[in-house]
Amino acid sequence: MKIMMLAGEKASSHTVYQKINTTFPISTVVMEAPLSKKGMLQKRARRLGTRTVIGQVLFQLFCLPILKYEARDRIQQIIAKEGTEKANIPDSKIQRVASINDEETIVAIQSESPDLVIVCGTRIISKQVLESTKAPFVNIHAGITPYYRGSHGGYWALAKQDKRNCGVTLHYIDTGIDTGNIIAQTKINITPKDNFVTYPYLQLTQGIQLLHQFLSGEKAELAPPKIADKHRKGNVFYQPTLFQYIFFRKQLKVK
């Protein structure tokens, strides 16, 4: 099976590559440049409103540094336990593009003719890119779909007092936001030492295991969403604002 990867310039992309490539070689990684901070904030403001974005920026400035400091030992513990490599993807394997939706990506995909495309940390992929090959696109989503789409699904499940749905999803990609067909799902185990910044580490390690099972052809249990409510479609979540984080931490002890 010929596998290629579409990735964002994020630590998680390098981790997925290192963990998968040893058993299932990845031929090429098309890696997009990160959005400028200004461009990202403007895009969020159009979608969420200026007040929400200001609250998110305040969360990043005042909460994240403290949370990262508090979790430094726990992060190292997770990395050591799961053996997640910090080594970067070799430059010889990377084809860099400004956006994953550029024509260069389509050319690269058609040149490679992959059997499977692994996606990690990119922006929403356009219909043109998805239709440029018959190969399926698969993604590790840090949340249980369809209930927790978007960002930080583990945190929001806890904030919504929905611990049953604090987990990770391996799914096929379509043109929606985390709306593709589910391949497999699993929960993550939260300890008192975990907080907002460690949940993604736990989700990534579980997601890589699901991806490895999928690639191995093992019969991973196709776990449907944990709450049997056909009418509940879920929402798209984003990073919390400073005020949301403080509220959920004080009222529900969600870190």
Cα(63)–Cα(246) distance, integer angstroms: 9
Q: What would the pLDDT profile of 42-86 be if each residue is shown by its tens digit?
A: 888 999 999 999 999 999 999 999 999 999 999 999 998 877 667
Number of C-beta neighbours around residue 173 at 10 A: 22
> How many domains are contained in the chain?
1
User: What's residue 23's pLDDT?
Assistant: 95
Query: Distance (Å, rounded) from C-alpha 210 to C-alpha 221?
Result: 10
E-strand spans in the chain? 3-8, 26-32, 94-97, 116-120, 137-141, 148-150, 167-172, 182-187, 235-237
Q: What is the mean pLDDT of the chain?
A: 92
Give pLDDT, residue 217.
86
In this structure, of 96-100, 176-180, 191-195, the range with the lowest mean pLDDT score is 176-180
* CATH number (domain holding residue 16): 3.40.50.12230
Q: 123-180, pLDDT tens digit by residue?
A: 999 999 999 999 999 999 999 999 999 999 999 999 999 999 999 999 999 999 999 9
Distance between CA atoms of residues 169 and 112, nearest Å: 27
Q: Identify any residues that bridge with 120 across adjacent strands, giving them in sequence order.
A: 7
Which pLDDT score, from 0 to 100, does residue 84 have? 67
For residue 20, give its domain range: 3-252
The amino acid that residue 111 corresponds to is: S
What's the CA gap between 165 and 147, in Å, rounded? 8
- Rounded to whole angstroms, the Cα distance separating 114 from 2 reads 5
Question: How far apart are alpha carbons 20 and 187 in whole angstroms?
Answer: 21
